[in-house]
Structure 1
Amino acid sequence: MIYAAASSRRSRSIPTRALAAAVVLALTVILAACTPTAAPSPSVAQRTLSVGATLEPASMDPWHNTAASIPQVLLYNVYETLVKVDSSGNIKPLLAQAWEVSPDRTTYTFHLNPAAKFASGAPVDAAAVVANINRLKADAKITETLRAQLTVVASAEATGTDQVQVKLTRPSVMWLYDMSSTLGMMLDPAATGDLATTSAGSGPYTVKAHNQGQSVVLANNTKYWGNPARFDEVTFRYFTDPSAMNAAMLGGDLDVISNLQAPDALPQFADTTQFTTISGTTNGEVVLGLNHQNKALAKLQVRQALTMAIDRKALMDTVWNGQGTLIGSMAVPTDPWYEDLTATNAYDPEKAKALLKEAGASSLSLRLRVPVVPYAVKSAQFVASQLRDVGVKVTIEELDFTRWLDEVFTKGDYDMTIVAHVEARDLGKFANPKYYWRYNSPKFAELYTAADEATSDEQATELMKQAVKYLADDAAAIWLFALPNLVITKATITGVAQNATTLSFDLTTITSR
């Protein structure tokens, strides 16, 4: 419009044809300025997810390091398994579309999904699965847990391009569950990198970076064979201070707290317009582990006394704000063989004193060495106080988790310790005398093996109940409580599983709206 007024003033001196050209040119400029499509198209915003977690992985190699924080990040997200456990504890297909078990339960035939590929583009075929099983069987440096799980495997054979047959030396109820976890994580056989820092799986994500002391970053595997990843990048951020993690969530710097480490902070996230609180169960038995190589702790009376000296309900109320489940042995409510055994060696400090006197251990001194994680540190303080009341002197030592793994878990340098055992259906660890408890009970090993070799699920459940009860009666450890699954998310985040039935923080079901 301004142009029209200016043109009228100059019309007498400009030829008609020139004026028309000028008008066209001016209109073109104006239209170009007013048309949105003339501006450069903005790039699509990156979809990101930030997850708060507690224990940072020391390595990205789950086969040579026992830390549960490794499969928390990698299992199902980066490395896939033949079968997968869902949030209800049921085994579901993953790399294997289907499988059959022979009548004697010693031969498993897996039918692989022919579409499955590693991030490199190589197929996850029968040859790759066989190579993975043979790789672990030949590796003398894998973790003690994996070595024990592999003893039942006799052979693995490719019976077709996408068909694998695994033969066991005996029936094993637990073996298929083991294959849904670290034991079954499939590595690209062509991988040549350092597994401590790189990844070579078939999952929807790859490891992009491990920023020591801060975070692990996963990137979208753009060549993923299944349903595409919902995020371009996922960052697991690690916090040693639960208050700092809560503050980061309240400040909008986190999308998810993977497991709330200060349950008394739940009211801070009560606003449902901003946050969602997910409350479920875990496999995490918080165990006050006893070193059975200690002469005093090798005595049943002493172990019973220590158990009776601790008011475990008061401990859970004090340490974990009453959140969790009291358990009396190595089983949690989602296990088929779970029974409430909390009445076994129940709280009775006077009887505890009498048992210690009978055992000649009235002036017992013990080292309680714990990793620096909130539940362990708080529980240690409560335990030390209660044991002091029955005449037991306890010296607490707090260790960073890497040091705890080396000195306590590997070298057995401790009297007592506290840690959550988060693997599913893991009571079989008490059948391994080399495990860090150094518990050596032929009777328990016999009960557990009989249960594992059962020829029906019903028989296995009944025999497992007997094995679980034996551990409680023998006070093989002191079971404090089972950790709850307390997850906090932004209100825009959906799909987080209610129950933590595996070691994985499974990203494949999570989305943002």
Structure 2
Amino acid sequence: MKPRLVALLAIASLTPALAQSPPRDQLTIGITQYPATLHPNIESMAAKSYVLGFARRPLTVYDQDWALTCMGCDTLPSLDNGMAQRETTPDGRPGIRVTWRLREDLRWGDGRPVSAEDLLFAWQAGRDFSTGFGGSEFYRSAYEAIVVDPRSITLRFDRVTFEYASAGDWQPLPAHVERARWEQEPRSYRSRSAYETEPTNPALWNGPYRVIQVQPGAGITLERNDTWAGPAPAFRRIAIRTVESTTALEAQLLAGQLDMIAGELGLPLDQATALERRVGARFRIGYKPGLIYEHLDVNHDTPLLADRRVRQALVMAIDRAQIVSRLFDGRQVLAHGNVNPLDWVYDQSIRQWPHDPARARALLEEAGWRPGPDGIRRNQAGERLTIELMTTAGNRSREAVQQVIQGMWRQAGIEARIRNEPPRVLFGETLSKRRFTGAVMFAWISAPESVPRTTLHSDEIPTAERNWSGQNYTGFRNAEMDALLEAIPIELDREKRRALWQRLQAIYAEELPAIPLWFRADAHVWPRWLDGVRPTGHLAPSSLWVTDWAVR
């Protein structure tokens, strides 16, 4: 390769006019999922977070160094600066009031300033369960909102938490566009929101870019937002293309139809390492381990999966270490629970479930499942031990893992029937409305020390009555877990909080609300002419810092 490089450089020095590349004013990015919605507060998909990172600014965010920082606000609230103050709630409990002040230069794409009224509307809509917003605990605990001035709003909370300065998923919504739609009928608002019906309306977007074109299921195009007052982004236009087949995604990259593949929703690790071995010189490929929990959500309302012994047998029947070694070059970290070893609250002493087929078979025997004539176990009623195994269609790596798990489970007498769906269907309908009966393989992405209330608390089980808000898709119910999820946020002493986290992890490891697989490392594929992309390894996507991206 070196002699060829020298030759190319020599040609460039002799004929600079011919060798000069045209200005790059467009960046085309490939991702594997299409957002089920573009509404910031409804549904939880990495694809949506990635797209909105270009077009919106949250109040607060954990940055690339895992520190909480302001993005849409101008000062992070604290007890020291007076923007957070302890107080007593009307019913006599310890509480806190927190004030966020919006950046003065933050504007919607129609030129209207982002205001405290936009945050007030988002709070009001979030407090109404029928709206179907996620993160309902935040809205429940913030019992009063006070507009201080056009840029400042105070929330009064009925508890003091260690993360009081974080606004979480509470984001401003353009009240001048959305309020009337919501007030007309909160329950149907999610389908009538402008984010659904007119996503190219400039008034919806307050980031460096705004959405100018939407091709449902295929792609979203963004252009510079003329009202953005922050650092100017390098590209006039960013085209985000959804290619659900990772094989096709790679082919489009190699054909030059894509400039980069976002690691947050890109090539599986095994596919990326193979690509690097073949054509690594053409691209920059980086691997970022992070708080990305690959697992199997199992439906606890399915009788066989409600039995803890069956769930324990499921995990012991899978040789996860072998899968990581053979499919992922050993780059994934085995998960023994939902807390990543990179997080400071991780407990190294939690129970681990090694690959133990004999013990898995014994547990199934205890649970009343006996081998049938074809090797698949049956209970006394003659029902087969059959589990529907789902994941995101087109993800070559997950589909390969499915095949391996299917074979390993069969050796224990468990029949897995594979049925996959496009991500927008799986996340937008099947999971969020709990329409699955067996196990679903996907990943939760979290922030540092993120209390998993929305995925584990019994109050967060999605129901039609609550318009499917909440993310406890498994239907896990455990009174002690509920108490821990309520106690951890309000424990300000770090060491006492660590002890609560240890107990949470112990319960998780024993009860197995979900089947742990591994903590994922993402593979980011960039063109060599692109600088400044810095993955976080947590919930906040790299697209939030698009103004740092540069062409070299």
TM-score band (shorter)? 0.7 to 0.9
1:498 aligns with 2:506: no
Q: Aligned partners of 1:342, 1:483: CA distance in 2, in Å? A: 20
SS in 2 for 1:118: coil
SS in 2 for 1:502: coil
In the alignment, what sits opposite 1:79? Answer: 56
In the alignment, what sits opposite 2:413? Answer: 391
Q: 1:218 aligns with which of 199, 212, 222?
A: 222
Change (3 A) 1:207 1:421: same
In the alignment, what sits opposite 2:548? Answer: 509
SS in 1 for 2:499: helix
| Number of aligned residue pairs | 465
Structure label with greater radius of gyration: 1
Q: Aligned partners of 1:279, 1:483: CA distance in 2, in Å? A: 10
Change (3 A) 1:273 1:105: farther
Give the conservation status (yes or no) of the 8 Å contact 2:121–2:175: yes
- Alignment root-mean-square deviation, CA: 2.4
1:305-316 counterparts in 2 under 5 A?
Answer: 305-316=313-324
Query: What is the Cα deviation at residue 512 of structure 1?
Result: 1.6
SS in 1 for 2:518: strand
Query: What is the Cα deviation at residue 188 of structure 1?
Result: 2.0
In the alignment, what sits opposite 1:152? Answer: 141
Q: 2:46 aligns with which of 65, 68, 78?
A: 68
1:264 aligns with 2:264: no
Q: Aligned partners of 1:374, 1:213: CA distance in 2, in Å? A: 19
Q: Aligned partners of 1:393, 1:227: CA distance in 2, in Å? A: 55
1:469 aligns with 2:506: yes
SS in 2 for 1:96: coil
SS in 2 for 1:107: strand
Q: Aligned partners of 2:172, 2:319: CA distance in 1, in Å? A: 44
SS in 2 for 1:235: strand
- Give 2:170's aligned amino acid: G
SS in 2 for 1:190: helix
Query: What is the Cα deviation at residue 339 of structure 1?
Result: 3.3
Change (3 A) 1:184 1:327: same
The unaligned stretches of length 5 or more in structure 1 are 1-43
Give the conservation status (yes or no) of the 8 Å contact 2:35–2:424: no
Change (3 A) 1:218 1:365: same
- Kindly provide the CA deviation profile for residues 114-146 of structure 1, in whole angstroms up to 9, marking residues without a partner as x: 222222222223333223222322462324x33
Change (3 A) 1:263 1:485: closer
In the alignment, what sits opposite 2:194? Answer: 194
- Kindly provide the CA deviation profile for residues 46-74 of structure 1, in whole angstroms up to 9, marking residues without a partner as x: 61111110001233223333333112210
1:85-484 counterparts in 2 under 5 A?
Answer: 85-98=62-75, 99-100=77-78, 101-103=84-86, 106-138=96-128, 140-143=130-133, 145-173=134-162, 176-177=165-166, 179-180=167-168, 183-191=169-177, 194-196=194-196, 197-198=198-199, 200-259=204-263, 260-265=266-271, 266-269=273-276, 274-340=282-348, 344-362=352-370, 363=377, 364-372=385-393, 373-405=395-427, 406-424=429-447, 425=450, 427-428=452-453, 429-432=455-458, 434=461, 435-484=472-521
Q: Aligned partners of 1:167, 1:467: CA distance in 2, in Å? A: 28
Change (3 A) 1:72 1:467: same
SS in 2 for 1:109: strand
Give the conservation status (yes or no) of the 8 Å contact 1:325–1:483: yes
Change (3 A) 1:448 1:439: same
Q: Aligned partners of 2:213, 2:537: CA distance in 1, in Å? A: 25
- Kindly provide the CA deviation profile for residues 251-271 of structure 1, in whole angstroms up to 9, marking residues without a partner as x: 333221112424334243356
SS in 1 for 2:247: helix
In the alignment, what sits opposite 1:47? Answer: 25
Query: What is the Cα deviation at residue 273 of structure 1?
Result: 5.2
Give the conservation status (yes or no) of the 8 Å contact 1:73–1:505: no
- Kindly provide the CA deviation profile for residues 404-449 of structure 1, in whole angstroms up to 9, marking residues without a partner as x: 2323431333121111112433622111351210000111111121
SS in 2 for 1:286: strand
Change (3 A) 1:334 1:218: farther
Give the conservation status (yes or no) of the 8 Å contact 2:315–2:515: yes
- Kindly provide the CA deviation profile for residues 448-501 of structure 1, in whole angstroms up to 9, marking residues without a partner as x: 211111123443333223212211121221110111121010111111113332
Q: Aligned partners of 1:512, 1:369: CA distance in 2, in Å? A: 40
Mean CA deviation greater in 379-388 or 458-467: 458-467
Q: Aligned partners of 2:47, 2:258: CA distance in 1, in Å? A: 18
Q: Aligned partners of 1:217, 1:383: CA distance in 2, in Å? A: 38
Give the conservation status (yes or no) of the 8 Å contact 2:350–2:505: no
| % identical aligned pairs | 19
TM value normalised by structure 1: 0.84
1:489 aligns with 2:489: no
Give the conservation status (yes or no) of the 8 Å contact 1:79–1:187: no
Query: What is the Cα deviation at residue 249 of structure 1?
Result: 2.0
TM value normalised by structure 2: 0.79
Q: Aligned partners of 1:377, 1:464: CA distance in 2, in Å? A: 33
Q: Aligned partners of 2:326, 2:138: CA distance in 1, in Å? A: 37
Change (3 A) 1:122 1:202: same
The unaligned stretches of length 5 or more in structure 2 are 1-21, 79-83, 87-93, 179-192, 371-376, 378-384, 462-471
- Kindly provide the CA deviation profile for residues 73-119 of structure 1, in whole angstroms up to 9, marking residues without a partner as x: 103x2121111211222111112121123346622122332222222
- Kindly provide the CA deviation profile for residues 284-317 of structure 1, in whole angstroms up to 9, marking residues without a partner as x: 2111111111222222222111111111111223
Change (3 A) 1:471 1:390: same
Q: Aligned partners of 2:402, 2:137: CA distance in 1, in Å? A: 30
- Give 1:388's aligned amino acid: R
Mean CA deviation greater in 112-121 or 500-509: 500-509
